Structure 1
Amino acid sequence: MPTAPIAFDELPATVRTAIEAETGLIRRIENISTGLNSSLSARAHTTGGVVFLKGLRTDHHWVWTQQREADINPYVTPLAPRLLFHVIADGWDVLGFESIDGRHADYSPGSSDLAKVTDALRELASLPCPDIELRHAEQRLAAYVAHPADADAFAGGTLLHTDWNNHNVLIADDRAHLIDWGWATRGAAWLDPAHWIIWLTAAGHTPSDAEDSVVLLPAWASAPPRAVDAFAHASANLWEEIASSAPDNWTTNLLDATRLWQQHRSDHS
C-alpha cells in the first residue's frame, strides 16, 4: 500500500541539514513520485554527484524496513546500489544510496529485460544469506495457507528479495539492479522465482509462459510441485487481503494474476 509522499523541501530544516552534512552541498532536488514503500523519494544532485534519498517518519509502521535495508546492503552489492549513509533526525529516518541512472524493467512478453532479470535471480540465489535479523518466509505466509503445515515448505536458508515489482528492478549498464530490500526474507530458494511468476502474469504472460521464464533457474528446479501449489494459494489469499484494504487498478491486477496462476496450478496438479 503506497505511503503519503513528501517533497524534500517539506522536510524539517534540521533533517535537510543532517542529510546535507552527508551529501555535501545539494544544488538541486529531483522529487520522485513512483516510490510505494517510502514517503521521501528523491534524487539529490550534489557537488560530488547524485544521491538517491529514501525516507520514512520514525513513527511510520514500516520504518523498520529502513534498518533492514541498511543491514542487508553490504551483503547484496553490487546487485543493489551501495548505501552511502543512514540518517535519523527530528522524526525522520533517511537512507542515502548511490544513484543508478536506469529505467524500470519491462516484464511484458518478449521483452529483452526478462533475461537480465533471470540473471539477477540467479546471482541473488548464489549469495550467502547473512546472519542478520530477517523475516522468515514460513512465518510471513502462515496466515494465508490452506493448512498450517503447508507453510513449512517455504522454510529455508536462502536470502530472498520477495518484492519483484518491476519498479524495484532497474535496468542499467546492460544488467538488472535490485532496489527496495526492506522485505528481504530468509526462506526456500525457489520462492523468489515464484514471486516473479506472479508479476510476469500481471504483465501479460500466461501462467504457463511465466513458469517457462524461470524453468532454467536451479532454484526453481528444486521446487516441490505441491509446495508451489501451496504458495500460489497463499499468494492469492494475500493479494485478496491487500486488494480489499487498498482497492485500485494496481492491487486488482495483482489479485487477478495470482488467481489466474492458482487456477493454472490447480488445473495441472
Structure 2
Amino acid sequence: MVDAFGVRIGWRDLPDQVRSAIEDIIGEPVVQAVSQPGGFSPGTADRVRTASGRRAFVKAVGRALNERSPQLHRTEVRVTAALPPEAPAARLLGSYDDGDWVALVLEDIDGRHPRTPWTADELSAVLAVLRELAGKLTPAPLTDLPTAAEVLGWDFEGWHRIRLDPPDDLPERARERLDDLCALATRAVPALAGDTLAHIDVRADNLLVTADGRVKLVDWPWAALGPAWLDTLILLINVQLFGGHPTDRLLVEQTAYTGVDPADLTAVLAGFAGFFFDAARQPPPPGLPTVRAFQRAQAEAVLPWLLERLDARS
C-alpha cells in the first residue's frame, strides 16, 4: 500500500526571520518541534511547544522548495480564517508572508489520523462530520474562491490526454473504454457546480481524530466552491484505496440527501480516475518525489469501482 507521505523540511531548516515571526505570533520562543508525517507539501509541518507549554501547529514553505506551494499556503490562510468558529477545523492563530516564505500558525489539535485500512466507527464519524460541515459551509463563507470546476477542470481532461497518447501500462479494461471514459470526464466538469465551500482533498492524512472521538478536517489549500457531495466522494476514494468497505453503497447512501444524479457521481469518479492515471505518468514535481506513486495507487483503486458503476448502468 502506498501512503500519502512526502519529504519535508523541519523547523530548524526555516530561515531565521521566518522562525522569529512565528515565535512572535505564538508569543514565546519555541523549545521543541516535532515534524508530522502525511501530506505532500515539501515545507515544514511541525507541532511546536514553548517553555511555558504553549502549543501550535506550524506550516511554512518557500518558493525554492516548490514554486506553487507558497500560493497554496496563502489560500489556506484565507480559507481557514473564514471558517465559522463551530467548523470542525483548526483555528488560525496567525500567518507570515514575506513574498517568498509563507507560514501558517494554527491551533495544535491533540489527535491522530484515522486508522488505515479504515475502521467502521471512524469512517462513520468522518462521514457524519462531512455531511454536517457541508451544511455549515453552504452557502460558502467565501465567495471569491475558484470553483471546483476551475480547480479540477484541467485534471479531468486526463482521459482525453491518455486517448491521444496511451501509456503502455494502461489497464486493458480502461483502454477498451476510452471513448466512454472521455465522455464521462467531459460531463464531470459541469457536474461540479455548487455553492458549498468544499475541501477538495479529504484523505486520512488530512483528518484528525481526538481522544474523545471528535473529527477535525485540516489542510485547506485546495478549497473551492462546489457541490455539497464532493468531499464525501473524495473521502470514499481514499476508503477505496485501502479497501474493506462497500464504497459504492456508502456513496449512494451518503449523497442521497443532496439529490445528485447518480450519473454525475459516475462522471466525477471518471474524472478523478483519468486525472490519477495521467498525472502518475508525469515526472514528479520539485520537492514532491513520492506523489506519483500515490496517484498511481489511487488510479488502480478507483478504476474497478468506476467500471462496476458503468457495467451496472449498462
TM (normalized to structure 1)?
0.89
Q: Does 1:121 align with 2:130?
A: yes
Q: Does 1:14 align with 2:17?
A: yes
What are the superposed Cα offsets for residues 90-127 of structure 1, whole Å, 9 maximum, x if unpaired?
A: 83111000101111012535432011101111111112
Q: Does 1:94 align with 2:103?
A: yes
Aligned to 2:59: 54
Show the 5 A alignment for 1:248-259.
Answer: 249-259=293-303
**For residues 216 and 185 of structure 1, do their structure 2 counterparts lie closer, same or farther at Cα, with a shift above 3 Å needed?**
same
What are the superposed Cα offsets for residues 191-245 of structure 1, whole Å, 9 maximum, x if unpaired?
A: 1111122111101136xx1132344435665221111121111111111122212
Q: Is the 8 A contact 2:206 2:217 kept in 1?
A: yes
The residue type paired with residue 192 of structure 2 is F
> Which of 13, 20, 32 is residue 28 of structure 1 equivalent to?
32
**For residues 141 and 10 of structure 1, do their structure 2 counterparts lie closer, same or farther at Cα, with a shift above 3 Å needed?**
closer
Aligned to 1:171: 209
> Which of 39, 42, 48 is residue 43 of structure 2 equivalent to?
39
What are the superposed Cα offsets for residues 43-92 of structure 1, whole Å, 9 maximum, x if unpaired?
A: 11012521100011146212222122111123154410101010124831
Higher relative contact order (CA 8 A, sep 6+): 2
Q: Does 1:64 align with 2:71?
A: yes
Higher mean alpha-carbon deviation, 34-43 vs 111-120, is at: 34-43
Q: Is the 8 A contact 1:40 1:54 kept in 2?
A: yes
Aligned to 1:225: 262
The residue type paired with residue 125 of structure 1 is A
Question: Unpaired segments of 5 or more residues in structure 2?
Answer: 158-181, 285-290
Please tell me the root mean square deviation across aligned C-alpha atoms, in Å.
2.3
Q: Is the 8 A contact 1:14 1:89 kept in 2?
A: no
- The DSSP-based 3-state class of the residue aligned with 2:268 is helix
What are the superposed Cα offsets for residues 103-153 of structure 1, whole Å, 9 maximum, x if unpaired?
A: 101253543201110111111111231234322122233332524454112
**CA–CA distance in 1 between the matches of 2:209 and 2:201?**
16
Percent identical residues: 27
- The DSSP-based 3-state class of the residue aligned with 1:258 is helix
TM superposition shift of 1:29: 1.5
TM superposition shift of 1:13: 1.4
**For residues 135 and 3 of structure 1, do their structure 2 counterparts lie closer, same or farther at Cα, with a shift above 3 Å needed?**
farther
Higher mean alpha-carbon deviation, 91-100 vs 52-61, is at: 52-61
The residue type paired with residue 44 of structure 2 is L
Q: Is the 8 A contact 2:5 2:37 kept in 1?
A: no
Poorly superposed stretches of 4+, deviation over 4 Å: 1-4, 218-221, 246-249
Show the 5 A alignment for 1:149-168.
Answer: 149-168=187-206
Question: Unpaired segments of 5 or more residues in structure 1?
Answer: none
Aligned length: 267
TM (normalized to structure 2)?
0.77
Q: Is the 8 A contact 1:162 1:195 kept in 2?
A: yes
Show the 5 A alignment for 1:127-206.
Answer: 127=136, 128=138, 129-143=140-154, 144=156, 146-147=182-183, 148-172=186-210, 173-205=212-244
**CA–CA distance in 2 between the matches of 1:14 and 1:112?**
44
